[in-house]
């Protein structure tokens, strides 16, 4: 009888803790999530002003299985990163700590939930092997402003490779197709999505992987107390195959 009483007491304590936790999360203001303008297909797509794509689907599902709420904020990359530093953005999705080590506020990171592969893509007829930074010395490479490629950072900073920044992958792919650039760095999922949606992009030549990293949610330190519930939701989605299913919708 004593054991049964202790078990009931333990269950009562755990249930009370759960209710307090749920109430705490329910009282939280919506977490402000950074979505890049003018878009980062297939991770961020815009239908009017409403973001869609992999990231929108990911956060919609986290809302369904947790007590967290999210507000989707749209900024150009450089402005969005500054807003995170200032504490006006709470979460940046799809990043690796190495890509943000130069930022004033590094943030804290969730568990990894996917792998991001970045590739070098060439204008028609310009394909070459890229096994190391030296293979691109004296070349101009188009890159989205604010994006970082750790293997190539030294070559960019010393001018051995010229980095040409643009606002989005869309604009870089367009420049490549028009012959204004010979090579760009772009996400593998992104170029495959472009080639699926726009047949003219199939003429672009996909080269070697220039960066392969686990990606996480970057969370502002002021919201670090919410990291356990975010990680629990991501772990559940990984185990159930939901994250892979979200990515597969856009391939």
Neighbouring C-alpha atoms within 13 Å toward the C-beta of 197: 13
Q: What is the pLDDT of residue 46?
A: 85
Q: Which domains are present in the chain? A: 116-213 (3.40.190.10)
Please, are residues 74 and 81 in contact by the beta-carbon 8 Å criterion?
no
List pLDDT tens digits, range 42-51: 999 987 778 8
Q: Give the tokens for residue 249.
A: 């919708």
Burial class (CB in 10 A: 0-12, 13-18, 19+), 86: exposed
Q: What is the pLDDT of residue 26?
A: 53
The contacts of residue 41 (CB under 8 Å, 6+ apart) are 53, 169, 170, 190, 193, 194, 197, 250
Q: Is the pTM of this model over 0.85?
A: no
Q: What is the pLDDT along the chain (251 residues), one digit of tens a residue?
A: 444 455 455 445 444 544 444 445 556 799 999 998 877 889 999 877 788 999 999 999 999 999 999 999 999 888 999 999 999 999 999 999 988 988 999 999 999 999 999 999 999 999 999 999 999 999 999 999 878 898 999 999 999 999 999 988 989 999 999 999 999 999 999 999 999 999 999 999 999 999 999 999 999 999 999 999 999 999 999 999 999 999 998 88
Q: What is the pLDDT of residue 145?
A: 87
List pLDDT tens digits, range 68-82: 999 999 998 889 999
Q: What is the pLDDT of residue 2?
A: 45
Q: What is the pLDDT of residue 27?
A: 65
Please, are residues 96 and 149 in contact by the beta-carbon 8 Å criterion?
no
């Amino acid at each position: 009888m004593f054991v049964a009483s202790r078990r009931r007491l333990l269950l009562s304590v755990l249930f009370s803790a759960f209710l307090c936790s749920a109430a705490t999360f329910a009282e939280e203001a919506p977490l402000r999530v950074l979505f890049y303008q003018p878009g980062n297909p297939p991770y961020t797509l815009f239908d009017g002003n409403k973001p869609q794509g992999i990231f929108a689907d990911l956060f919609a599902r986290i809302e369904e299985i947790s007590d967290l709420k999210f507000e989707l904020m749209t900024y150009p990359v450089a402005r969005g990163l500054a807003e995170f530093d200032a504490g006006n953005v709470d979460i940046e999705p799809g990043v690796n700590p190495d890509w943000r080590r130069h930022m004033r506020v590094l943030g804290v990171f969730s568990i990894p939930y996917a792998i991001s592969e970045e590739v070098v893509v060439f204008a028609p007829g310009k394909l070459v092997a890229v096994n190391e930074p030296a293979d691109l010395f004296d070349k101009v490479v188009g890159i989205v402003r604010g994006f970082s490629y750790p293997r190539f950072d030294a070559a960019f900073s010393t001018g051995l490779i010229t980095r040409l920044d643009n606002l989005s992958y869309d604009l870089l792919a367009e420049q490549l197709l028009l012959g204004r650039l010979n090579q760009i760095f772009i996400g593998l999922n992104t170029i495959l999505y472009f080639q699926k949606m726009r047949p003219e992009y199939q003429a672009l030549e996909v080269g070697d992987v220039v960066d392969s990293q686990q990606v996480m949610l970057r969370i502002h330190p002021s919201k670090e107390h919410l990291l356990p519930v975010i990680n629990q939701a991501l772990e559940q989605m990984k185990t159930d195959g939901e994250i892979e299913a979200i990515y597969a919708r856009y391939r």
